[in-house]
Amino acid sequence: MLKVRDLAIRFAGRSASEAGTLAVDGIDLDLDRAQVLALIGESGSGKSATMLALAGLLPKSAKTTGSVLLDDRSILHLDEREKSTVRGRRIGMIFQDPGGSLNPVLTVGDQIDEVVRTHRRLDRRAARAETVSLLSRVGIGDPAARARAYPHQLSGGLKQRVAIAAALAAQPTVILADEPTTALDATVQAQILDLLVNLVQVEHVALLLVTHDLAVAAAVADRIAVMYAGKIVERRGPEQLVTDPGHPYSRALGQAALPFVAAGDGRHAALPELPGRMAEAGGTACAFAPRCPLAIDRCRAQVPPVVPFGDGEAACFRAGETAQ
Amino acid sequence: MMRHWSIGGVIGAAVLAVLVLVAIAAPWLAPGDPLDIVGRPLLPPFTDPRFPLGTDQLGRNVFAGLVHGTRVSLLVGLAAAAAAIGVGILVGTVAGFLGGWTDEGLMRVTEAFQTIPTFLLALAMVSALGASTVNVVLAIAISSWPATARLVRAEILSLKSRDYVDAARLAGMSRLGIAFREVLPGAVQPVLALIGITVGVAILVESSLAFLGLSDPNQVSWGGMVANGRAVLRTAPYLVAIPGAAVAVAVLSVSLVGDAMGRRLLVSRER
């Protein structure tokens, strides 16, 4: 349903002569209704740029190539008017900071009413009824009263639930969630993840979850794509990615996020650390080679192709091998 | 709610309420045309119960003039301020939200208006357009909108990069819809604090114009009364002092209320 092919994003340099920065270097993604795809990677890996491109929220200075099809319609290069229909009706977004994505000077009910009325010709009372129904579907008790509250009167978890309801109000087919639980307490985090997984089934929407947390991704996703330096280096089901990672970077992520799994016997191993910094995207070698314990000469000479691995694929010459 | 109102704010609000009541009740408090000659000229205050504040050199009732002048002052002050703030909000929102050349163009126009002192611009406009109440309102509004425009624009600039604006864009709202329904409500709060100053300035400018004779000659105005009394300042100083005090009280009360609103907003923003 959502089909991304060879998507590349380049941010313009400060002058016309500068090449600019390649943020995303030709990625493919596939996502169906009632499915959760997690896109994980560290800061600067290109996961947020990918999400903004799908949402059509990239600044004008960013150049995108490749194709993004939503139900066989291209949504990548649209003018403002086309965007306002495609975006809202088809794509909803949940932001990292639930406080920031809600307007502080409008009641949450008014904000959701506004979205409902933008998409359907409903009068005020019908829109409010729909809003109250949305609020109750995202697990908010006493939704009619909560609709009259301002965001600052709600807790972080409630605000994120309201943000989810606002995203659902436009009846999207795809929901993009950018680190939706990072700003929340651990217990609230689990509740919100449960809610999202549940909504994907009940509302029959597709969810693209962007996170840096492998534990979160493994808990909710049907498929996980690991991004590094603008490329997808591994694409697997959650169990296999955790227990049998193909790419050395995925292995390092797993050891950092799930140390008890890595140690194998329930003890905490020392948290591993990757030396150095992430390489620039778009080189002629494996971008991870400079930090990779398994790197061989070949890794530094050519870009490893994507090869089948386990229940998915990995882009590594030494996929599945471990150090020692 | 009340605990955030300062004593000054309460006094200001009370005085303003009295002024508004006087303005509304003027025809009953002082029936008839306040410009009519009704008694002996230059009667000092508190000497004749029919003219509690005395009469001027033509024998007109000072109390009636004061009461009816309240109408003109408040009406012109509020109408001019409302128009100025409306235009300022419109220009500031469009400039701040759309940015680019629209912003550049609108801000240069705003600056062009700001380079001319409010009073001189209003003076020039009224002398060109003619002295009627509508023209006075227009002149004051045109010369005092830039402050609001700049304030609103600055607020919009800081608000438009928030996530909720992106969320509204994603939800399919139009650009102007987002600007006026999502962003503007957050930007008007500081404008509320500016209302007091704008209304106060408008009242002062109106009085000053009337003092110079640039107001509707068929309506009493405090500024006009001061101008009139100036000729007999040494023999009947009350003819200048009474309307002068009225101007001062009106501007002070409006400023106190505006100041109190500003402080309250500050408190609610810090929360």
Q: Write down all domains in chain A, each with its CATH number in brackets.
A: 2-228 (3.40.50.300), 231-324 (no CATH)
Structure tokens at A271: 């948290």
Alpha carbon distance A282, B158 (integer Å): 35
Chain-chain contact of B174 with A84 (C-beta, under 8 angstroms):
yes
Chain-chain contact of A118 with B173 (C-beta, under 8 angstroms):
yes
A133-136 long-range contacts, CB within 8 A, separation 24+: A134/A165, A134/A168, A134/A169, A135/A108, A135/A109, A135/A161, A135/A162, A135/A165
Residues of chain B neighbouring A87 (CB-CB closer than 8 A): 169-172
- Going along chain B from its start, the domains and CATH numbers come out as 2-270 (1.10.3720.10)
Which ranges in chain B belong to alpha helices (H)?
7-29, 62-98, 100-114, 118-129, 133-144, 146-159, 163-170, 175-177, 184-211, 222-230, 238-270
Q: Looking at A15-19, A279-283, B128-132, B229-233, which range is the least confident one?
A: A15-19
The average confidence (pLDDT) of chain A is 87
Cα–Cα distances in Å, from B236 out to A175, B156, B240?
79, 53, 8
Contact B190, B265 (CB under 8 A): yes
Chain-chain contact of B186 with A80 (C-beta, under 8 angstroms):
no
Q: Which residue has the higher pLDDT, A130 or B265?
A: A130
Q: What is the mean pLDDT of residues A32-57?
A: 90
Q: Residue A44 in 3-state DSSP?
A: coil
ipTM of the complex: 0.75
Cβ atoms < 10 Å from Cβ of B266: 13
Binned at pLDDT 50, 70 and 90, residue A268 comes out as low
Whether A195 shows a pLDDT value over 50: the answer reads yes
Whether B40 shows a pLDDT value over 70: the answer reads yes
Select the residue of A102, A106, A115 nearest B171 (Cβ to Cβ): A115
Alpha carbon distance B263, B271 (integer Å): 13
Q: Residue A65 in 3-state DSSP?
A: strand
Alpha carbon distance B146, B116 (integer Å): 11
Q: What is the mean pLDDT of residues A237-248?
A: 92
Cα–Cα distances in Å, from B230 out to A263, B56, B237, B244?
96, 11, 8, 11
pLDDT (0 to 100) of residue A158: 93
Gap from A279 CA to chain B (nearest CA, Å): 29
> Which of A51, A61, A84, A94 should be substituted to probe chain B, the one whose Cβ sees the most B Cβ atoms within 10 Å?
A84
Q: What is the mean pLDDT of residues B251-262?
A: 89
Select the residue of B169, B175, B181 nearest A114 (Cβ to Cβ): B181
Q: Looking at A24-33, B16-25, B31-40, which range is the least confident one?
A: B31-40
Q: What is the mean pLDDT of residues A119-133?
A: 91
Please write the tens of the pLDDT for every residue from A252-263. 888 887 666 555
Gap from A97 CA to chain B (nearest CA, Å): 8
Cα–Cα distances in Å, from A22 out to A231, B27, B195?
11, 76, 49
Chain-chain contact of A88 with B167 (C-beta, under 8 angstroms):
no
